[in-house]
Amino acid sequence: MAELCAMDVIFLGSGNVATVLAKMAVDRGHRVAQVYSRSLLNAEELADTVGAAATNRLEAIGRDADLYVSALSDAATLRLPTTLRLLRGVLVHTAGALPVETLEPCAINVGVLYPLQSLRKQKIDYEPFPLLTQANNSDALALVNDFAESLSPVVKSTNNAERLQLHVAAVIANNFSNHLFALAEQYCLQHQLSFDLLKPLIVETATRVVDHAPSQMQTGPAMRGDLVTIATHLNLLGKTPALAQLYATLSASIAGMHGA
């Protein structure tokens, strides 16, 4: 991790990303000066854990911070009022899908600090995860990179298009696979089967891709071209057409990739 240049940071938002990044910032020796949230209770909850002041009024946000991190929902970041107008410091958002220019009406120096990890405020310790950075000028980028490098050994400067593409890839790899786990869990529950029995398989599948290309690790009936088994499964899923459709679509995708 880079040598620390301690910064004064203000967080807008008190949800998952704000909580994880604010705690990491304090752990690395930065000062979280203030937490803004539309709910004073939520602002106070995070502010208390990082030794910051709390506010639920945007007009009360301090003007002297080095870095302002907007970890609000995408919709709320898009609606930040121009009256915020920060003349110094850098205002970053943490969204994968919003262009860097989004916050330009609210500050002179704007940027992005996008954590490429699924973050939950209930979890305390994360293995180091990538931070994708961007800014609208070189001084701002240097400051965002300094901060990012103090939090993570993996910092990558990106542009809007690249970050958006990585966000799409992250949704496919993480959100979609988790949804498939949830569907399998639901299916097990419906049939009074224990989802716990599948957990070693899920862990093995996720662990393999650390050292191997996922395309080389595919197994299962669609990969083998085992049409009889696929037909048996689809027949079994007949009463849940949405699941049968998903099974058929994913099997076709696997077969297409592997020429099965």
Task: Classify burial at 228, counting beta carbons within 10 Å of its beta carbon; exposed 0-12, middle 13-18, buried 19 or more.
Answer: exposed
Candidates 48, 60, 73, 123: give the one binding ligand NAP (CB under 6 A): 73
Candidate ranges 34-42, 122-130, 143-151, 197-205; the one touching ligand NAP (CB under 6 A): 34-42
Residue 173 binding ligand NAP, by CB under 6 A: no
Contact region with ligand NAP (CB under 6 A), list: 110-118, 122-130, 226-234, 237-245 = 110-118
CB 226 within 8 A of CB 219: no
One of 39, 159, 207, 253 touching ligand NAP (CB under 6 A): 39
Q: Are 52 and 30 within 8 A, CB to CB?
A: no
DSSP string, 35-103: EE-SSHHHHHHHHHHHT-EEES-GGG--S--SEEEE-S-HHHHHT--GGG-B-SSEEEE--SSS-GGGG
Q: Which CB, 35 or 230, lies closer to ligand NAP?
A: 35
Residue nearer to ligand NAP on the CB measure, 1 or 76: 76
Pick from 94, 133, 150, 251 the residue near ligand NAP by CB under 6 A: 94
CA–chain centroid gap for 60, Å, is 28
CB of 38 to ligand NAP, least distance (A): 4
C-beta closer to ligand NAP: residue 77 or 251: 77
- Across 187-215, b (16+ Cβ under 10 Å) vs e yields eeeeeeeeeeeeeeeeeeeeeeeeeeeee
Task: Give the shortest CB-96-to-ligand NAP separation in angstroms.
Answer: 6
- The CB-of-80 to ligand NAP minimum distance in angstroms stands at 9
Among 6, 29, 78, 118, binds ligand NAP (CB under 6 A): 118
